[in-house]
Amino acid sequence: MAATRIDGKLVAQDVLATVKASASELESRHGVKPGLAVVLVGEDPASQVYVGSKGRMAQECGFHSVTHRLPADVPQAELLALIDLLNADPAIHGILQQLPLPKGLDADAVVGRIHPDKDVDGLTVVNAGRLASGQPDQAFVPCTPAGCMVLLRRALGADDLSGRRAVVVGRSNLVGKPMAQLLLLANATVTVAHSRTKDLPALCREADILVAAIGRPQALGPDCVKPGAVVIDVGINRIEAPERGEGKTRLVGDVAYAEAADIASAITPVPGGVGPMTIAMLMANTVTAAYRAAGETPPTF
């Protein structure tokens, strides 16, 4: 029996509906619009696309949306000064520094300058520490793992992660580590695998929940999937697709989808799975920041 396809677009629409309703309620009660500032340095084409989509979505959600575009040769001190201004601006509740930064700029210093209560990307060491020490209600969680948890809870039920074996393949600060911590907080038994893990397929086959976040196209085959497992594929990889015509490409995940779908009970597709959730959770984090700033209890997602 083929696995259930976990539709990230559909779940993201549901999250965004809650964001829009919550933003409207905050404005009606306090006269405050959630404010999101995005900072883009340089002319990286992919970053331009991402920043544009984030700005449009923020406006759709009824936010006060601001984009600051700086040249690639901007001095570090000038970029830090802008972050300081945004930290001090009461109309801005979330600050997002688009990465990567051009050479010569210290990304760690820039991200670290963002006030933790406005760090809606969840990248500061303060928010990482809050999550690691079991304070997710005080932290901002990076948007991709936060979205993965929403998908898992929709697939398994809110209380159905307890006691399950979870394997997270990948140990990045952006996805792998926070994903493992979120699963631990949900009372799953968690193993983190990585490039030095021995006999990765055998380890993955123990997982009731398999999260793939290694950035290698279709690296996890059917030998890595336990029958009945729930598979969350974070990978977005572009590969050549000659069947579509000369020079054409297509997107695939870190999991061999067709083969895994014959074994798993539920699986996220690529595209259309985790991807839509990332921007939805950025909006969710921003509205949460605005509610906290207003002394209100944030919505749940």
Query: 69: helix, coil or strand?
Result: strand
Q: Where are the beta strands (DSSP E) in 25-150?
A: 35-41, 64-70, 94-97
What confidence score (pLDDT) does residue 207 get? Answer: 98
What confidence score (pLDDT) does residue 1 get? Answer: 66
Distances (CA, A) of 124 to 82, 109, 117, 173, 291: 17, 10, 10, 10, 20
Q: Which two tokens stand for residue 128?
A: 């990482």
CA atoms within 13 Å, Cβ hemisphere of 224: 27
Query: Domains in the chain, ordered, with CATH?
Result: 31-116 (3.40.50.10860), 143-276 (3.40.50.720)
pLDDT along the chain (301 residues), means of 10: 92 98 97 97 91 94 97 97 98 97 96 98 96 94 97 87 96 96 96 96 98 96 97 94 87 96 97 96 98 96 93
With a CB cutoff of 8 Å and minimum separation 6, the contacts of 274 are 8, 144, 147, 148, 151, 232, 233, 234, 268
What confidence score (pLDDT) does residue 244 get? Answer: 87
What confidence score (pLDDT) does residue 165 get? Answer: 98
What confidence score (pLDDT) does residue 246 get? Answer: 86
Would you please indicate which residues are annotated as catalytic (active-site) residues? 54, 98, 121
d(CA 57, CA 62): 9
